[in-house]
Amino acid sequence: MNARTSRLVAADTARRVSPPPSARQPLGRHLVDSGVITSEQLVKALHLQLSLGAPIGEILVAEGWADRTDIQAALARQHDIPQVELGLEWPDSALCNRMPYEFWLHHRVVPWMRQGRTVLIATDRPHQFDTVRAALADTFPDTRPVLSTDTEIDAAIANRFSRPMARAAGSRVAARFSCRDWRATNRVVLPLVLLTCLAVLLAAPVLTLAVLSLVAIATLAMFITLKATGTVAHLVAHRHLTAPGTAATAAPVRLPKVSVLVPLFHEKEIAGALVRRLSQLTYPKALLDVILVLEEEDEITRDTLARTTLPAWMRVIRVPAHDGLTTKPRAMNYALDFCRGDIIGVWDAEDAPVPGQIEQVAIRFAEVPEDVVCLQGILDYYNPRSNWLARCFTIEYASWFRVVLPGIARLGLVVPLGGTTLFFRRDKLVELGGWDAHNVTEDADLGVRLCRAGYRTEMIDTVTYEEANCRAWPWVKQRSRWLKGFMVTYLVHMRRPRQLLADLGLRRFLSLQAFFVGTLSQFLLAPVLWSFWLILLGVPHPVEALVPLPIVYSVSGFFVLAELMVMGIGLLGVSAPERRFLMRWVPTLMFYFPLAALAAYKALYELVIKPYYWDKTQHGQAAPEIAQS
């Protein structure tokens, strides 16, 4: 059908009067009568609908009993309205501009064209058109529906509103919580602070070393206390995490629609494997909405996806360029408007979630109080045997996600989120403004913001396997991005310390200080801490001239105890049978963390020179080694 023919068909059929709902034959009956499905398949689909609550057409497509073309044709016959192809003739811009794009996205409709006094509205849900007609009564007194697909409607809205939507994606978060004005306010201040510190060091090296040693010891003590507190809370609970979906737990009567965002950027190795991994999910596909999010100018990923056959429950959203900003949080902000689920999840391109993960999430959200707006899963690595670096990375993640973080969450402290296996209540995520598009650790920042808003994060006993970065320089680049984001997040939220304290309360405020200051200082001041090992080797330390020798030895002993505690948490983290082979590698962590010191100084440099730069991690470099179960 060409554009002229579609216009004539629409003009003719728009004059028809659709039969009243009571006179319409059910969609399933249309499909049976036309031979698309059998009566047995219809009965099975109706039975599934009792628990899923999804439209019958989506269930039939998800089960492979019908395709979208069949469903569209049956809907057109059921409601006696024409089908149109919006891609052949884009909607009228003047009509679209009569309402904000949020309205069209919310109702999943778009005004196509005007025929006389009548405005033809494209919809993929004609059974809900009366609601749309009532909402548009003041703007368009006379409207008629025409049928299109949800994909074409999304594309039409994106085509007409790409500029304002792209602009909004970069500024959803309130300015006081965002780092988007970072360059203007800190381009001069930070270099001056760093130069002042360097000048003081050169003028009084021993005194400066002593002061830095004091700071390093204090902040290390803060961080160790946080980790110890989280570990104790974890052990006292007598179980790893809150485990939904046990035998005593019943599933919700109606499972929710779940949208999961999977940001992709310059991915040429990962697309096919991603589809295969996500196809193992057991959540009803009629309620699953996986969105592959890519930048409009990313030809590498676009060409890769063009050669990949996507299932019906997986679709692509292209994010238009704006102001040269191409970050993961900006892309997710843009795609958030196109999500159809009540729960919004995030996976990375290389992720391999366990098959029943989304069922656990849906069940747990049905159980927890309303103030729990985020569920964070366990992150693990599927290639721990690649080399020594991958083993240490796996131990580090096991210590954090299986031991420390669950304890912190149980205590109600600030949970710095990981970047994947996150699930949110959609309405609360929108309320919070989504992600800060300019922050390169948007996950940690969002964890702080939701806590400041009075909401909670809970850990959930479900695992997503990722690829451990097992090459030294790529590891440093990835870690430097994380540490730069921690620096930005901390400085943004500490703009008004009193307000932060009022929002969080004293306990959470102190935990935030312990995490961010402790994490950053233990790497930035690592050379200062390492200097104390000289004492154990019998080499005099410069601060001995200013500090009594017993105190110096006590400090050295404290460092030894801190290392032993890190090892103990590491052993606890890899105590599961499938990870016990890593135990003998735990003592080598002391040689692993110096790489993070290099990453910290790289992060500090980038904080001054290019704060929004996203150092891309290349995926697809290692093959899975363990069963994902």
State pLDDT tens for residues 329-357. 999 999 999 999 999 999 998 899 999 99
Strand pairing category for 343-346 and 258-264 = parallel
pLDDT band at 48 (very low <50, low <70, confident <90, very high): confident
User: What is residue 308's DSSP assignment?
Assistant: S
Q: What is the pLDDT of residues 157-178, one digit of tens each?
A: 999 999 999 999 999 999 999 9
If asked whether residues 118 and 218 sit together in one domain, one would say no
Between residues 620 and 401, the one the model is more confident about: 401
d(C-alpha 327, C-alpha 436), whole Å: 10
Hey, how many other C-beta atoms are within 10 angstroms of the C-beta on 275?
17
Residue 22: the pLDDT is 52
Task: Please report whether residue 74 resides in a domain.
Answer: yes
pLDDT at 17 > cutoff 90: no
**Helix, strand, or coil (residue 461):** strand
69 in the same domain as 153: yes
Cβ atoms of 289 and 260 closer than 8 Å: yes
| Same domain, yes or no: 351 and 450 | yes
**Range(s) of the domain holding residue 427:** 181-254+340-629
Q: And the tokens for 214?
A: 């004091």
Any domain includes 578 = yes
Say which residues have a Cβ less than 8 Å from residue 333's Cβ, sequence separation at least 6.
168, 169, 170, 172, 434, 435, 437
Q: How confident is the model at residue 11 (pLDDT cuts 50, 70, 90)?
A: very low
Regarding whether 244 and 153 lie in a shared domain, the answer is no
Domain boundary among 148, 169, 190: 169
Please indicate, yes or no, whether residues 375 and 494 belong to a single structural domain of this protein: yes
Looking at residues 583-593, what average pLDDT do you find? 94
Please check whether residues 142 and 198 belong to one and the same domain: no
- Least Cα distance to 298 among 253, 349, 259 occurs for 349
Asked if the structure places residue 610 within a domain, the reply is: yes
**Would residue 176 count as lying in a domain?**
no
Q: Decide which of 169, 198, 219 is a domain's last residue.
A: 169
Shared domain for 609 and 502, answered yes or no, is yes
Is 299 among the domain residues? Answer: no
pLDDT tens readout for residues 523-543: 999 888 888 777 667 777 777
- 312: amino acid identity, one letter: A
Domain end residue (candidates: 134, 169, 204) = 169
Same domain as 146, residue 210: no
Instruction: Identify the CA nearest to 9 among candidates 146, 124, 119, 151.
Output: 146
Shared-domain flag, residues 219 and 165: no
Asked, for residue 331, whether it belongs to a domain, the answer is no
Q: Is residue 306 part of a domain?
A: no
- Count up the domains in the chain and report the number: 2
Q: Are residues 587 and 529 in the same domain?
A: yes
Tell me the mean pLDDT in the region 404-432. Answer: 95
pLDDT interval class at 363 (50, 70, 90): very high
What pLDDT, in 10s, does the model give residues 183-234? 655 666 667 777 777 777 677 777 778 888 888 889 999 999 999 999 999 9
- CATH number of residue 156's parent domain: 3.30.300.160
With respect to residue 175, please indicate whether it lies within any of the assigned structural domains: no
Segment among 19-23, 111-115, 557-561 with least mean pLDDT = 19-23
